[in-house]
Amino acid sequence: MKNNYDTVKIWSYGKQEFIDSGLQFCGLMLGDHSKCAINTMFNTGTIAGVSSNIFGVVFPRTIIPSFSWGGGNGYTTYQLSKAFDTAAKVMARRGVTFDKEDEQILAKVFEMTSSERSWEKKKSD
């Protein structure tokens, strides 16, 4: 719940803008294979994409792109090969195999979300 009791605004990927969720209670939405460190703080309505690792003592943005590594002090890209390695370990711990199909799905998401990782654009400029 927001401190001012307003409804929570969330990011709409379809509209590419924040929209009113109509909800007074709306916490973190954390994508598959994403993790956060102990004591990481999130604002209401924060959306973290797939395979992100969020940490730090500063509030991160309310939109965290897929394959982000970092937090409120900035991000780098969580490299695909490292994301595969971690996903395989996590799934094996649960008795599930991370197979080629899983790799293909994550690789496709990595490709589809590359434009959201603004720091990658700055490097190539």
* Res 49: pLDDT: 96
pLDDT digits (tens, 9 = 90+) for 8-18: 999 999 999 99
pLDDT digits (tens, 9 = 90+) for 13-50: 999 999 999 999 999 999 999 999 999 999 999 999 99
Global pTM reads 0.89
**Phi/psi at 18 (5° precision):** -75, 140
Amino acid at 37: A
